[in-house]
Amino acid sequence: MTRVLVTGAGGFIGGHLVARLRDDGVRDIRAVDRAPLNAWYQRFDDVDNRCADLQDFTACQRACDGVDVVYNLAADMGGMGFIENNKALCMLSVLISTHMLEAARQAGVERFFYSSSACVYAAGKQESPDVEPLRECDAYPAMPEDGYGWEKLFSERMARHYLEDFALETRVARYHNVFGPVGTYDGGREKAPAAICRKVAAAVLNCSDEIEIWGDGKQTRSFTYIDDCVEGTLRLTRSDVREPLNIGSEQLVTINELVDIVEGIAGVTLRRRYNLSAPQGVRGRNSDNTLIAEGLGWAPSVSLEDGLRDTYKWVYDQMS
């Protein structure tokens, strides 16, 4: 029997990961998050649910005690509106990352997964909407997203050195804009797909004909459905691949095209008001999936349209 620890388990990705582990027959799961239990997106009675702040080293030691595999997803983060305005808070997640690695080493953990981000990629490679898909090597020379991206890149290096120096088998994924139901869709930490779903649903429910778009709508992104994110996480953790891998879709769209899709799902056409002073992030970002296909024999495949259909329905139901 394997005892598994999921940190950040009260959050969006963490909650879905715990659900999938249970579905896969894992019966000894410890789930940790600093949020109160009643604020977790998903919580299961047959899981060892704990509320703890993993910026504290002692809390990390308690979380790792007796654990075989760690999925470290805990971080202070959100969408572009949050990470552009909370750089120090984002960088303080380095306390979680480093304390969890050391606690895992002391506890004799067999395998340690770290959730990194596409925000580690050099800004100079993301200046055009017609961006070339980002390869894993494009993280260097380093010039990541200020604050959040620097913390993620530093923690990637820490994971690498714990593998080299202490033989802790670490695995690192670079998530690309993960979205789906049962997650944040308002309050300032939501990402673009959830935000657009919320805005369109609000227009439908309030009989409005207008939607606000951050930026000019021409910036491009690829968005990864939560099921693909979890599948890739499990495959990578169980693999022999020791280098960071992209877990992201290669389906590149503009933000305007993202809105088009959600409007089509909702059956409406809205006037668009562009807020050019709002946080926009890089002009273009897409995932190159060459290495994940080679290393895992798999790559994300859920279409943006299918993922948004489920996400919009869930957001609409929450709001109505």
Q: Within the chain, which residue ranges are assigned CATH 3.40.50.720? A: 3-179+223-248
Q: How high is the pLDDT of residue 188?
A: 86
Structure tokens at 302: 């859920």
Alpha carbon distance 123, 137 (integer Å): 13
Are residues 143 and 123 in contact, defined by beta-carbon separation less than 8 angstroms?
Answer: yes
pTM of the model: 0.96
Task: Note the pLDDT tens digit of each residue in 164-210.
Answer: 999 999 999 999 999 999 999 998 889 999 999 999 999 999 999 99
Question: 192-220+252-287+305-319: which CATH architecture?
Answer: Alpha-Beta Complex (3.90)
Q: Which residues are catalytic?
A: 148
- Class for domain 3-179+223-248, per CATH? alpha beta
Polymer length of the chain: 320
- Split at pLDDT 50, 70, 90, the class of 1 is low
Q: Within the chain, which residue ranges are assigned CATH 3.90.25.10? A: 192-220+252-287+305-319
Task: Note the pLDDT tens digit of each residue in 100-127.
Answer: 999 999 999 999 999 999 999 999 999 9
Q: From the CB of residue 254, how many other CB atoms can be counted at a distance below 10 Å? A: 17
Are residues 175 and 248 in contact, defined by beta-carbon separation less than 8 angstroms?
Answer: yes
- Split at pLDDT 50, 70, 90, the class of 80 is confident
Phi, psi dihedrals of residue 33, rounded to the nearest 5°: -155, 150
Task: Note the pLDDT tens digit of each residue in 86-95.
Answer: 999 999 999 9
Largest distance between two CA atoms of the chain: 60
